[in-house]
Structure 1
Amino acid sequence: MDVCLSSEQQPGRLQEGLGSPDGWFEAEETPQKDGTRGPAGDFNNIEPSLQSLQKFVPADYASYTQEYYQFAGEKIVVQESIESYGAVVWPGATALCQYLEEHTEELNLQDAKTLEIGAGPGLVSIVASILGAQVTATDLPDVLGNLQYNLLKNTLQRATHLPEVKELVWGEGLERNFPKATFYYDYVLASDVVYHHYCLDKLLSTMVYLCHPGTVLLWANKFRFSTDYEFLDKFKQVFDTTLLAEFPESSVKIFKGTLKWD
């Protein structure tokens, strides 16, 4: 995958600056229930129920940056590190955020039960939450701390529904962790989850598993390799597929998929 991304290739990106993961919410202030603002790192001002959600610790990478984005009328600050693919916002994510923002009324995300596959540092889940969705952000265990950090930093006092963070290893423990009898999603979101790796069959089976009749899967991807197009061919075999948008400058395409039913 691309390690260095230019800001011109990413809609919604504002600027870049150095940051550090030295705890939670030190750099900013958080609005309180009474309308005042207090230090964002002051846990006495955060509801106990929110503190209980902080169960993952960000990975101890040598360096982080704070990247700035503008979506849904909000400035979003995302902690990223190029030391992990899962701690970087890729072009598909910014394109999908732009699409969600521009089609809010059409998608009707308000209160929609939404799961993101491979949420990474969480930009798409943040935007979906601000737009009103009930979001479950998922990824591999090693990136969940940074994901949770970014979600809480950007959705407290901004989102009707506080996002949930859950571990999801593609193709593993799906019925145990996401039983079909209990979990239903209006939307499944995925961005830049397809590239040159060896888990594409497990990714597709996970996408299929998480979709019910009526679930809409929105998948954004920068097409880099022949394997990306091979995955798209397999995707079309199991999903009724519509190309929603293209971003030629970044080679990103956004597809809508609804599962085919016999």
Structure 2
Amino acid sequence: MDVCLSSEQQPGHLGKGPSTPDGWLEAEEEGDLHKDGTSRPPGDSNKIEPSLQSLQKFVPTDYASYTQEHYLFAGKKIVIQESIESYGTVVWPGAMALCQYLEEHTEELNLQDAKILEIGAGPGLVSIVASVLGGQVTATDLPDVLGNLQYNLLKNTLKCTAHLPEVKELVWGEDLEQNFPKSTCYYDYVLASDVVYHHYFLDKLLATMVYLCQPGTVLLWANKFRFSTDYEFLDKFKQVFDTKLLAEFPESSVKLFKAVLRWD
């Protein structure tokens, strides 16, 4: 996967901040960040959700790989801690495109209080923007990047959004009914950005997308198309989802789709 984002020229990106090797220990304006990556407002010791408290932070082997990237969406300056050591700790072009679309179509999408799950949330930019726009967000990814995701979500949403995002582990195709039972886990929107690239889990990804979508669920998927396998996935995707191309971003080769699961 290419690492060059050309993000300084993309809407919403404010450029790179200074590297912060000790970013996990820096004090926030709202309160102090703890060793486990959670944040506590002054005088409040018990109001962080247990699901956030229980997670372990992502620890890079080289703290010099961490940077603070600055973005502007929905009128809010968002600071994302990224590391080039993992695909899951970098903001990719599809995330930028999806954030731009959410920002520009908030009223049309009716995101206020909507139940939203993001697949492959990475460092959390899309989940943060969805939360800032009023959604009840569940951000999911593999266990090794959940700590960095948690850190970024708390840093940017604590005490400034109507709903504090939830962080959950999601391994595509595994334990779906156990961890996301259909009887209790309904989502108005499932969001995904740059989840399709050169890996061997595309069938499990598609199965996960299908599982998470119930009648009425809208899937918004933004992806930079790099390889022939990306288009092969799109063909399979269209076999099970009624799909509409919402937007294209030629400068980054990103396509944004709206999809609803077929029930016939």
Aligned residue in 2 for 1:84: 86
Query: Aligned AA for 1:125?
Result: S
Q: Does 1:158 align with 2:160?
A: yes
Confirm or deny: 8 A CA contact 2:40 2:48 kept in the other structure: no
Query: Aligned AA for 1:85?
Result: Y
Are residues 12 and 146 of structure 1, via their aligned partners in 2, closer, same or farther at CA, if it must alter by over 3 Å?
A: same
Aligned residue in 1 for 2:238: 236
1:111 aligned to which of 99, 110, 113: 113
Q: Percent identity?
A: 78
Distance in 2 of aligned mates of 1:130 and 1:159: 6
Distance in 2 of aligned mates of 1:254 and 1:92: 8
Are residues 157 and 79 of structure 1, via their aligned partners in 2, closer, same or farther at CA, if it must alter by over 3 Å?
A: same
Deviations 1:151-208 (A, max 9, x none): 0000012210000000000000000000111110000000000001100000000000
Matches within 5 A, 1:1-262: 1-8=1-8, 10-20=10-20, 22=22, 24=24, 26=26, 28-30=28-30, 43=40, 45=42, 46-50=44-48, 52=50, 53-61=52-60, 62=62, 63-262=65-264
Moved more, 181-190 or 2-11: 2-11
User: How far apart are 1:235 and its partner, in Å?
Assistant: 0.4
User: How far apart are 1:100 and its partner, in Å?
Assistant: 0.1
Secondary structure at 1:258 match in 2 = strand
Distance in 2 of aligned mates of 1:165 and 1:119: 9
User: How far apart are 1:60 and its partner, in Å?
Assistant: 1.7
User: How far apart are 1:21 and its partner, in Å?
Assistant: 5.4
Q: Structure 1 stretches of 5 or more lacking a match? A: 31-37
Aligned residue in 2 for 1:33: none
Secondary structure at 1:217 match in 2 = strand
User: How far apart are 1:27 and its partner, in Å?
Assistant: 5.0
User: How far apart are 1:17 and its partner, in Å?
Assistant: 2.0
> What is the RMSD of the two structures over their aligned residues, measured on CA atoms?
1.7
TM-score relative to the length of structure 1 = 0.93
User: How far apart are 1:227 and its partner, in Å?
Assistant: 0.5
Secondary structure at 2:48 match in 1 = helix
TM-score relative to the length of structure 2 = 0.92
Distance in 1 of aligned mates of 2:240 and 2:150: 32
User: How far apart are 1:57 and its partner, in Å?
Assistant: 2.7
Confirm or deny: 8 A CA contact 2:123 2:149 kept in the other structure: yes
Are residues 21 and 98 of structure 1, via their aligned partners in 2, closer, same or farther at CA, if it must alter by over 3 Å?
A: same
Secondary structure at 1:109 match in 2 = coil
User: How far apart are 1:8 and its partner, in Å?
Assistant: 4.0
Distance in 2 of aligned mates of 1:44 and 1:159: 14
Distance in 1 of aligned mates of 2:146 and 2:32: 24
Secondary structure at 1:204 match in 2 = helix
Deviations 1:4-39 (A, max 9, x none): 322245321101023335364725412xxxxxxx66
Deviations 1:114-158 (A, max 9, x none): 000000000000000000000000000000000000000000122
User: How far apart are 1:54 and its partner, in Å?
Assistant: 2.5
